[in-house]
Chain A
Amino acid sequence: MRRLLAATQQALAAPPRNPRMAVVIGRLLAIAFLLCFGTGLYSHFLQEPEPWMRFSTVPAQLYQVTQGIHITAGIACFPLILGKLYTIYPQLFQTPPVKGPLHLLERASIALFVGASLVQITIGLLNTYQWYPWKFGFREVHWALSFVVIGSLAIHIAVKLPMIARFWTRNSEGTRELRGEASDAAAPVAESAPVGGVTGRIFRWIDGAPAPEPAVSRRGFITAVGVSTATVVALTAGQSFAALSPFNIFAPRVKGTGPNALPVNRTADAAQVLDTAVSPDWALTISNGRRTVTLSRAELLALPQTTVDLPISCVEGWSQMATWKGVRLRELLNKVGADTSQGLKLTSLEKKGGYRVTQMGPEYAFDASTLVALEVNGETLDIDHGYPARMIAPGRPGVLQTKWLSKLEVEA
């Protein structure tokens, strides 16, 4: 068994599979993970704020940028994590497989780290096109795994810290030694006892291949990882970042598609509002304790109208700038005597769904650019974009830009 493991490790040896390369790619991957984690925390608390939390309403594109980074960095993790795993793959066959309890823990933590990371980026990717071929809850598991991944990352860095320090720079002790060894790579490898049978034949087949040239192989590897990362980012990030949208040939969303030149997440049909949203009886109710105002769409249109440019920025990473026209929310709140320390409860016509009823903090409710929007991009709101009236506020996730508004209640 040991001989088999040793032979496998030897067969897997390749010039890019060295600790310096693992450190170089590991650093990039750690940056991508931390970007995802930070922007993920921000997105989570925007959607489920603690009562004391207040958020910035400027710049209006804040969430567009943080969530665009979240998704784009997540996509960049695919080539980076595969590259990282490539550099360390022979470690899987280390002998002896387990040296003691601590070593077992270390190996178990790496297995958890690798598995959880792969699952995390995979379910995140599938979520960007609303595909859930599993029975667990996406949001809950993505949230829980983020702590597992970052926790295992911290443990992994702690375990490997001496190694990371030895190979941190081009001139670190370990890197220099590696270069020294590389120059006499032609030195014969210690002969290990031959392995028999079919496996032996496979090993001989592998050994019979011409050896890779170390320098070319290393440069080729790092170039392939770099080009892959740049390619996957360049050809998908256009769903989030306008500058890259001409190159968007693979992202699940495309800017400018859909009714009102705006992509749709949840349709009126899915929200079961096809009848209620076009009902002539529709009116928006605004209440503050016992004071209540009810306004029909015609009455809302008769109020002073404001035009703002704000993006719809979806949790799934896509975003779209649009020009909205409607009534300033704070003017409606003044009608019921709300003061600027009070938040809101928003209710949609939707029959069911996690975002039918949502909260809005006072920083958004009283922001000058927050509108009860009636038009978008010069047209009446499409029913899929929230006709007769929807909320649009700066720097909030799309799921909180409530469509098909029904009630606004000022919270005490």
Chain B
Amino acid sequence: MKPTRMNLVRIILIAIGLAGLFLGALIMVQKERPDQIVGVIVWIGAAIIVHDGILSPLLLLLDVWMRRAGRRIPFGVLAIIQGGVVVGAIMSMLVLPEIYKKSLGTKNPTVLPLDYGLNLALFWVAVAVLTGAACVLYLAGARRRAANTLTSAA
């Protein structure tokens, strides 16, 4: 590498990075038993498999399926619906474990005090309503733009 400023920054960053990795590994071996460290490694591997092997391919299939199913639907509307699904899905990802944990029981009643299932259902209703409204607004805007184009063309 040429001794440019960028390369200097890169070398410093790599040194910081290696120090961080070393420190992390050191804390891990000092504080955790070997079987616990294996547990952490299994979790890291599982996280990669769940994301890269399950969630992402599912998302691709959903996207392609929507585009094929919605050949006559304007792409903007599809994008808005996809956006709504993404917002709802990410919120659900955070809330579903809470619902499950609450069903297992908590250490005291002030932990997970809400009715998360009901709230999540209402949230999805709100997402559906807002997504619908956004689609209507988008289509109205698209029609207006089309009308303007026609008028200016005439």
User: A residues engaging B (CB < 8 A)?
Assistant: 11-12, 14, 75, 78-79, 82, 85-86, 89, 92, 111-112, 114-116, 118-119, 122-123, 125-126, 129-131, 134-137, 140-141, 143-148, 150-159, 161-162, 165, 205-206, 208-210, 212-213, 216-217, 219-220, 223-225, 227-228, 231-232, 235-236, 249-250, 252-254, 257-258, 263-264, 266-267, 270, 384
Distance A130 CA – B47 CA, assembled complex (angstroms): 20
A217-B14 CB under 8 A given contacts A122-B47, A130-B111, A228-B91: no
A118-B112 CB under 8 A given contacts A12-B60, A136-B32, A228-B87: no
Distance A205 CA – B24 CA, assembled complex (angstroms): 45
Question: Inside 8 A of A236's CB, which chain B residues have their CB?
Answer: 94
A111-B75 CB under 8 A given contacts A144-B24, A228-B91: no
Q: What are 28 of the A-B contact pairs (CB < 8 Å)?
A: A14-B63, A78-B90, A79-B90, A85-B51, A115-B44, A119-B40, A119-B44, A126-B97, A137-B31, A144-B31, A147-B24, A148-B20, A154-B13, A155-B14, A155-B21, A158-B17, A206-B64, A208-B68, A213-B76, A220-B76, A220-B80, A220-B82, A224-B83, A250-B94, A252-B98, A264-B110, A267-B108, A270-B108
A114, A136, A223, A263: which contacts B110 (Cβ < 8 A)?
A: A263
A161, A206, A232: which contacts B90 (Cβ < 8 A)?
A: A232
Mark out the residues of chain B between 57 and 97 whose CB falls within 8 Å of any chain A CB in the assembled complex: 59-60, 63-64, 67-68, 71, 75-76, 79-80, 82-83, 86-87, 90-91, 93-95, 97
Binary contact readout B95-127 vs A (1 if CB under 8 angstroms, 0 otherwise): 101100100101111111110100110110000
- The answer to whether the Cβ of B9 comes within 8 Å of any Cβ in the partner chain is yes
Question: Inside 8 A of A161's CB, which chain B residues have their CB?
Answer: 6, 9-10, 13
Q: Closest CB-CB distance, B80 to chain A, in whole Å?
A: 7
Main SS class of interface, A: helix
A151 adjacent to B94 (CB under 8 Å) = no
Q: Closest CB-CB distance, B63 to chain A, in whole Å?
A: 8
**Minimum CB distance partner of A165 in chain B:** B6
B110 adjacent to A258 (CB under 8 Å) = yes
Question: Inside 8 A of B111's CB, which chain A residues have their CB?
Answer: 129-130, 252-253, 263
B43, B56, B112: which contacts A119 (Cβ < 8 A)?
A: B43
B76 adjacent to A216 (CB under 8 Å) = yes
Distance A257 CA – B110 CA, assembled complex (angstroms): 6
**Minimum CB distance partner of A155 in chain B:** B17
Q: Closest CB-CB distance, A97 to chain B, in whole Å?
A: 14
Question: Inside 8 A of A145's CB, which chain B residues have their CB?
Answer: 24, 40
B79 adjacent to A217 (CB under 8 Å) = yes
User: B residues engaging A (CB < 8 A)?
Assistant: 6, 9-11, 13-14, 16-25, 27-28, 31-32, 35-37, 39-40, 43-45, 47-48, 51-52, 55-56, 59-60, 63-64, 67-68, 71, 75-76, 79-80, 82-83, 86-87, 90-91, 93-95, 97-98, 101, 104, 106-114, 116, 119-120, 122-123
Question: Inside 8 A of B60's CB, which chain A residues have their CB?
Answer: 11-12, 206
Which of A14, A134, A210, A384: most chain B Cβ within 10 A? Answer: A210
B13 adjacent to A155 (CB under 8 Å) = yes
A212-B48 CB under 8 A given contacts A144-B28, A270-B107: no
Question: Inside 8 A of B97's CB, which chain A residues have their CB?
Answer: 125-126, 131
Question: Inside 8 A of B14's CB, which chain A residues have their CB?
Answer: 154-155, 158
A210-B67 CB under 8 A given contacts A78-B93, A150-B20, A220-B79: yes
Distance A231 CA – B83 CA, assembled complex (angstroms): 12
B56, B80, B91: which contacts A232 (Cβ < 8 A)?
A: B91
Additional 5 contacts, C-beta under 8 A, given A155-B14, A250-B91? A78-B90, A122-B47, A131-B104, A148-B24, A250-B114
A250 adjacent to B67 (CB under 8 Å) = no
Q: Closest CB-CB distance, B42 to chain A, in whole Å?
A: 9
